[in-house]
Structure 1
Amino acid sequence: MAAVIEKGSRITLHFSLKLDDGSLVDTTPPGKPASLVAGDGNLPEGFEEVLFGLAAGEERVTRVPPEKAFGMPNPNNVQRVPRGSFASDVELEEGLVISFADAAKSELPGVIREFDDNVVEVDFNHPLAGRHLVFEVRIIDVQTP
């Protein structure tokens, strides 16, 4: 009997992640599958749930709600930053992703939502927060723990 994915399984797979309108968000390159360990916390809950119970050779397409993907946007994650906090040579534009250092000196990406001469509004929510996502997966190999 073929091994099925359970917590701790080492998995090799191809995947694609799309928005509801079919726009591709992420995918494994042809011939270069991804490898991961199921249940190690590196995948959002909704993606891991899709994998459990699958065996090598199986495919699945599942629509994952925001609550089980990247969460809902949190209004507290939108910050207003003084324009003077940005280097004068930084050309701001809506949608621009800028890297900030958080309190622990980790890198934190923020998206410029709007700005004027005095204030820049930066959204630190995950760019896919609030979005339903279509997760397509094809399992290549499963090694159980």
Structure 2
Amino acid sequence: MSKVKANDTVQVHYTGKLVSGEIFDSSLEREPLEVQLGQGHLIPGFESALVDMAVAEKKTITIAKAEAYGEVMDELFQKVPKSDLPDTIEPKAGMGLVGSRPDGSQQQFRITEVHEEHIVLDANHPLAGQDLVFDLELIAIK
């Protein structure tokens, strides 16, 4: 029986959960994720868990934050004057925003605090600082 090895293209169904059991993403209601390993498209712990799996194999893994989205980095928080926001936005804690970098690419932010004159934006990945649990089922090796 064939097993997944580095650089294979695989199809996998997954359900991602926080350690508390709260589901944050799942492919079960859509097509399985298809990805080529070794291309940097997956968090390291997810990719390494797929290696040596066989088609139809299922397993549950826990990925430490270091192998997922890393620690929350204080330097990714920034204060922004409310006057820098478009007039159409009423900022609220938890709201997501998208900003443009100097090179034209986009970056996602989350508002963590709203004050009289400024807001605090967080550019950390929303799952940074958390260990993650994934239920995996390998569908195919291509």
Band the TM-score falls in, shorter-chain normalisation? over 0.9
Aligned counterparts of 1:57 and 1:29: Cα–Cα separation in 2: 14
1:127 counterpart letter in structure 2? P
Output aligned runs, 1:1-145, within 5 Å. Answer: 2-30=1-29, 32-143=31-142
2:113 counterpart letter in structure 1? E
For each residue in 1:36-81, what CA deviation from the matched residue of structure 2 results, as whole angstroms up to 9, or x when unmatched? Answer: 1112110011111110110101111011011000010110000001
1:59 counterpart letter in structure 2? K
- Secondary structure at 1:134 match in 2: strand
Aligned residues of 1:5 and 1:53 also touching (Cα < 8 A): yes
5+ long unaligned stretches in structure 1: none
- Secondary structure at 1:80 match in 2: strand
1:16 counterpart letter in structure 2? T
Larger displacement relative to structure 2 (65-74 or 97-106)? 97-106
Aligned residues of 1:50 and 1:60 also touching (Cα < 8 A): no
Larger displacement relative to structure 2 (103-112 or 61-70)? 103-112
1:85 counterpart letter in structure 2? D
Aligned residues of 1:5 and 1:38 also touching (Cα < 8 A): no
Identity over aligned pairs, percent: 25
Aligned counterparts of 2:121 and 2:30: Cα–Cα separation in 1: 38
Count how many residue pairs are aligned between Structure 1 and Structure 2: 142
Aligned residues of 1:12 and 1:142 also touching (Cα < 8 A): yes
Q: Which runs of structure 1 show a deviation greater than 3 angstroms over 4 or more consecutive aligned residues?
A: none
Aligned counterparts of 1:34 and 1:128: Cα–Cα separation in 2: 19
CA RMSD of aligned residues (A): 1.1
Aligned counterparts of 1:76 and 1:10: Cα–Cα separation in 2: 36
Q: TM-score, normalised by structure 1?
A: 0.94
Q: TM-score, normalised by structure 2?
A: 0.95
5+ long unaligned stretches in structure 2: none
Aligned residues of 2:14 and 2:28 also touching (Cα < 8 A): no
